[in-house]
Structures are given as structure tokens and as C-alpha cells.
Amino acid sequence: MKINSSMTKQAIVLVMFLLVASFVRGQNTNRFILKTSVVELLTGDFVTTSWSPNLIIEIPLKNNYSFQQGIGLILPDNTLDKDMVFIFVDRLFGVSIRPELKKYLSKNKDVLNGFYLSVDAKGVYTNAELSVSKAVVKRIDIATHLNVGYQVFTKSNFSLELSAGIGPGYIYSTSSIEKAELGLIEYRHGILYAGGSGAYFSYQFDIRIGYFIRLKR
């Protein structure tokens, strides 16, 4: 049987879900929200033609605070028409991690819903080979954001979360090909993609879906 790319994506997401669920089950908490970012799933690292299977865990703390941890893989995806926005790659692998501290504005201290404010710190590492220049580019992108968001639950404990934020970012990038030999020069965030480094203004918008899980003790 031939395994297509859609089946491969589904298998990766399933394996990540099972690993994270096993980890959380061993922690000292009996309730948490398990989510995925739809935006990251479709757009990957927001720079290259990629996608990112990812999982996010939100654990309630005291006084309407919660801690949220996201982790994802970044893999190539040339199946969609992204040539007007993203840089094409022949090979790509990366990881992303995003811890976030949230403060809900609701007076109900037992339910993580409604509007919230948060601060996050996102780090992304990618190793890619560009399709046009064949340059091998290693990139580290670090950004922190001040966010405002809203989370709502259905009667079946499914969650929908919207968030947006702004903040400073910094990119460190190396390239196997010198700038003068690249031919096609490509920029993202105002910084040369293949071998450019510097600070930039970062913004984020996210849509996350999830499920509120309560474990029996």
C-alpha cells in the first residue's frame, strides 16, 4: 500500500499526541487542556514552504494564572501554492518551542475561559536547503510577545482560542553560500534569509483548538 503525504502527516500528529498524553499523565495534575495551533500546522515556520505538527499543553495554576507549553516539528510542504509568500525549500527540518504564562481576567478561578493577557518566548531552529540557490541555511529565531487572547469551551469540553501579540525578535542565520554568490536575494522580516542576522519587530496571530481533559485519581 502506498502511503501518501496526508497519511504521513496524520501519523506524525498521532504519535506526538500519544507521547505528550503519556507525559502529562505522570505529572501532578488531574486537569489540563491539550491543543494544537491551526496556524502553525498550515504555515510551519512562517518563512519557508513548511508545515508544523504541534501540540500545546495548558495547565491551570493559582489565581487565574496558567502555564502553557507548545512544541512542534517543522517539516517541508510543497503541496500548497505558497510561492507568493514563502521561500521554497528542497530539504527542511526544524523544531519550535513556546512557553507562555497567561492571566485570565475572569472572576471564576476554576475555569480557563474568557479574555486573558499573556507573555511568551518562542524559539525556532531550522536547517534548510533552498530550492533556487541550493544554499544550506541554519537559522535560529527567538521572539517574545505580549499577547491578548480569548478562549471559549463548548459543552463537550472542546476549546477554541484566538490570540494576537507583538514584541521584539532576533534572528541568527548562517549560509553555505556567500551573499555575493546567492543570485536570488530573499528577505524575511527585513533580514536576509540566507546568512543574515539582526533584530526585528515580531507579531503573531494564532488559532488553537483543543480539548479539556480531566483525569480520575
CA distances from 164 to 78, 86, 213 (A): 27, 21, 25
Residues in Cβ contact with 52 at an 8 Å cutoff, skipping those fewer than 6 apart: 37, 40, 41, 43, 44, 45, 72, 73, 74, 75, 96
Confidence of residue 58 (pLDDT cuts 50, 70, 90): very high
Report if pTM > 0.85.
Answer: no
User: For residue 167, is pLDDT > 90?
Assistant: yes
| Euclidean distance between CA atoms 153 and 212, whole angstroms | 8
User: For residue 13, is pLDDT > 70?
Assistant: no
pLDDT at 3: 40
Confidence of residue 62 (pLDDT cuts 50, 70, 90): confident
- For the chain, the structural domain boundaries read 5-214
Q: What's 5-214's CATH class?
A: mainly beta
pLDDT at 73: 94
Confidence of residue 97 (pLDDT cuts 50, 70, 90): very high
Q: Which residue has the higher pLDDT, 186 or 94?
A: 94
| Euclidean distance between CA atoms 165 and 185, whole angstroms | 29
Residue showing cell 497519511 = 7
- Alpha helix stretches (DSSP H) within 32-90: 38-43
User: Which of 12-26, 71-85, 94-108, 180-194 bottoms out in mean pLDDT, i.e. has the lowest?
Assistant: 12-26
